[in-house]
Amino acid sequence: MATNTIKRGEFLRDGLNHKPLISPLKTFELGFFSPGVSTHRYLGIWYGNIEDKAVVWVANRANPLSDKSGVLTINNEGNLVLQDGNNITVWSSSSTESSSNNKNRVGAIHDTGNFELSETDTKRVLWESFNHPTDTFLPQMRVRVNSKTGDNLAFVSWRSENDPSPGNYTLGVDPTGAPEIVLWERNKTRKWRSGQWNSAVFTGIPNMSLLTNYLYGFKLSSPPDETGSVYFTYVPSDPTMLLRFKVLYNGTEEELRWNESVKKWTKFQSEPDRNWSRGCRRKTPLKCERNVSVGEDEFLTLKFVKLPDFETPEHNLVVPEDYLVDLQQFEAAGSSLHIRVANSEIEEKKKSKIAVIVGVLVGVILLGIFALLLWRFKRKKDVSGTYCCKNTDTSVVVVDVSKAKETSTPFSGSVDIMIEGKAVNTSELPVFSLSDIVAATDDFCRENELGRGGFGPVYKGVLEDGQEIAVKRLSGKSGQGVDEFKNEIILIAKLQHRNLVRLLGCCFEGEEKMLVYEYMPNKSLDFFIFDEMKQDMVDWKLRFAIIEGIARGLLYLHRDSRLRIIHRDLKVSNVLLDAEMNPKISDFGMARIFGGNQNEANTVRVVGTYGYMSPEYAMEGLFSVKSDVYSFGVLLLEIVSGKRNTSLRSTEHGSLIGYAWFLYTHGRSEELVDPKIRITCNKREALRCIHVAMLCVQDSAAERPNMASVLLMLESDTATLAVPRQPTFTSTRRNSIDVNFALDSSHQYLVSSNEITSTVVLGR
């Protein structure tokens, strides 16, 4: 039977029948292990009830056992001791506490990850692993720092991935000045620092106040205790959350949280995110440094600054003489810094400001003239839609589809693919008042803006009940418009699936038209896939889970929902990620509904994103479920490779599809896999994904699989995959689609880049 304690006279032995101590809720285990490929044995603590049993503490890190003869027990002095096969002590708790009866001492591993030696009768703790950490900081630890004695509790990295002996990097609170976390290299060179503690956050970590669920739990005890020490503690907002802070052997510090849905640790923060070791130097010397007189030096104020490091500890007086080390300016938070600069730099800024002011004034005048002309034009234009928002009886959106028909292909008959005159009432879609939205977004505060897309700006908001929301506000300059706005309401209000973004409501008052969505804290998929600094945060297991989620969302749209829907603008930036990194398809402004047994339709207005549109849609305006399959194939290649489809446009392959086909036909598909995950990924799954992608991007829509077949092929090791045909449409630069093409001079086409039509709900 598993136990969490070891008493005097009991032994925890390594070897064939080794059974670790297990905490009451099975959160942590204490026992013997060998890291990686090492054959040395160590006594340590690791997570117990999850798949990735990350080690958080090592007892004998500097003195490993050479075999499995190790034994942990409590000796006659009442100390925890680790001995080898020759009864030689290789590690001891070395408690200085004495007792008349050492037999009443017990060691216990707790669900916090703390291993304690205490007295059974008085419950007095004599020694605990939390006071002797290795490389990992866990919630409820007390990080000690004493400015009088210079003493602090430090976390030291491993020597390497397979060697837990003390490495080159140490993390701790600097005891010589204002409280801040510092990462030292070889105990003397500052590699990174957090910025000073302001009673709520560390000012040098720009995202700390934003990642409230993960990082906003630090507290500093005050006043100091009888020894002069103060303590930093961390308590997460969710006590069930598995979270750890680790100093890596390569000199970085990471905050990791266990993601149960994908069974892996997710990295939410990493420091330092860049190399600042060389500092910066003045561009223009000060007057006192030159032998000429060109006006008096002046002071320039920089706001939202992470204050620089100095060799001296007097942080209250900032008088740099040469280099400014680790100086950063953020978009928000931080401190104000007044820097003495040459007069010429101030004059340049003044001239620049004047030029900006003049430019803005001219722009405003021209914009006013344009707005007046546009207003006069709109007054003459027939109104095709009527909006009624706040009504004592009901609130509906009335859609006139007389001007919104699209004709099908010759072999499928003429149909309407919009909802014919059907209204969306508040029983299906709640309506928010403008005052509610204004209060939630702090009057559309600039700091709450998450991003901008073809629809307009997107704001983060918080409702009265505390629910976080994302608000899409239709812009007067929107590349989309009222038709797309109505279309998105009609469609997404009727859709409910875990892999589709959820529409919470809408708002129409006066000229304001807004959609209210659930808030996605992890931004969009392209934020991770195409950023070299964040690609390693999405390993293969997570990428494959995202691929499966997108496929299930598309299958729901095409087959399983109440309406049969073609998205028409599926791309990486339209895949949002929730707190658990689950994918959710978004942006239904371009989507269309198919009725009855309709399989295909065509349009005189081609909308979508370059690189994702199928050949028949881009060249003929013909779209179907197979158009979305093509887009999914492109998206699949991007997720696997970490490259944009258009990133290879200037190469001999013309596109990512062309490059993937070249590697596929030469038996080198593995080379397409993102180098960040190539070694650790499931090779069979990755190659199968590439094969499925090549089937999805075939030129002929009839030869592409439907999403049901795609999902089956992705999830089955035994499914037989057809041999794909060469996708000639994008196989060379010469045949690549041109953004400005036109099939008929009487038709207008809207073909755009990711930056234009992307309506992305971005987390901050």
Please name which of 207, 168, 175, 208 lies closest in space to residue 191, comparing C-alpha atoms.
168
Strands 230-234 and 457-462: unpaired
Give CA 611 to chain center in angstroms. Answer: 24
What values do phi and psi take at 629, rounded to 5? -60, -40
- H or E element in which residue 357 lies: helix 343-380
658 Cβ contact list (under 8 Å, min separation 6): 648, 727, 730, 731, 732
Of 174, 297, 526, 569, the catalytic one is: 569
Asked if 189 and 309 count as a contact pair (C-beta separation under 8 A), the reply is no
Please name which of 615, 618, 623, 714 lies closest in space to residue 657, comparing C-alpha atoms.
615
Asked if 760 and 574 count as a contact pair (C-beta separation under 8 A), the reply is yes
Q: How far apart are CA 39 and CA 65, in angstroms?
A: 9
593 Cβ contact list (under 8 Å, min separation 6): 417, 418, 419, 490, 491, 563, 564, 565, 566
Ranges assigned E (strand) in 93-223: 105-109, 115-119, 125-128, 136-137, 142-146, 151-152, 155-160, 163-173, 181-185, 189-193, 218-220
Q: How far apart are CA 734 and CA 154, in angstroms?
A: 60
Q: Clarify whether 569 is annotated catalytic.
A: yes
Q: How far apart are CA 697 and CA 727, in angstroms?
A: 6
Owner of token pair 């040469």: 322
Q: How far apart are CA 406 and CA 417, in angstroms?
A: 7
- The order of strands in the sheet holding 298-306 is 328-329, 298-306, 335-341
Within the chain, how many helices (H) and strands (E) appear? Answer: 12, 41
Answer whether the bond into residue 224 is a cis peptide, omega within 30°. Answer: no
DSSP code of residue 200? S
Cα angle for residues 69, 72, 74 (degrees, 5° grid):
145
Active-site residue set:
569
